[in-house]
Amino acid sequence: MKFTETPINGAFVVGIEPRTDERGFFARAYAAEEMAAVGIPMTISQSNISVTRIRGTVRGMHFQVEPAPEAKLVRCPRGAMYDVVADVRPDSPTYGSWFGVELTQYNNDALYLPLGCAHGFQTLVDDTVMYYDASAPYTPDAVRGARYDDPILEVIWPLPVAMISEQDRSWPLLSDQVAETGH
């Protein structure tokens, strides 16, 4: 596996190292020891999949807080998506920053998001599949979000937003969340 640091503290692009032959290829997509060696202490508690039918759809920006913060390892096994990690950890040196990377069925890259970071993506083609491993189970009371157009983050989506859920459009601004909680 190949690990490339991103500008977000603790986030990595994770590449595979395929072994190819006439049948195709084989590669490790998750290796706990290799990941721990570069500072990714992820154990998988749950795996999730979503199918998004319409190009330009944005999902996110989602994260979980105590008692169930989650790290994520995100892939795109079909289609193409622009995947975003946003640092919403108030005490982080990269708070308010974001990083985006294209994940596709062809590049086989993944994005690792550390605990406390928000995740969102925009589909670049119709019928895109997003698959991710999470370090904690889905915990409804711990779910939070930041608006896809939050002025603190200023995420630049590559396409006009074709569709977004009412929930994702309605998350409070990060500035309001910090004011409410003190962090």
Contact (Cβ atoms closer than 8 angstroms) between residue 160 and residue 137:
no
Of 64, 29, 58, 49, residue with least CA distance to 158: 58
Query: Between vectors from CA 40 to CA 36 and to CA 41, what angle results, nearest 5°?
Result: 70
Query: Is 119 among the residues known to form the active site?
Result: no
Contact (Cβ atoms closer than 8 angstroms) between residue 104 and residue 23:
no
Distance CA 52, CA 70 (A): 22
The H or E element spanning position 33 is helix 32-37
Among the listed residues 82, 95, 112, 132, the single catalytic one is: 132
Query: Is 148 among the residues known to form the active site?
Result: no
Among the listed residues 62, 82, 95, 183, the single catalytic one is: 62
Distance CA 175, CA 178 (A): 5
Residue positions annotated with a catalytic role:
62, 132
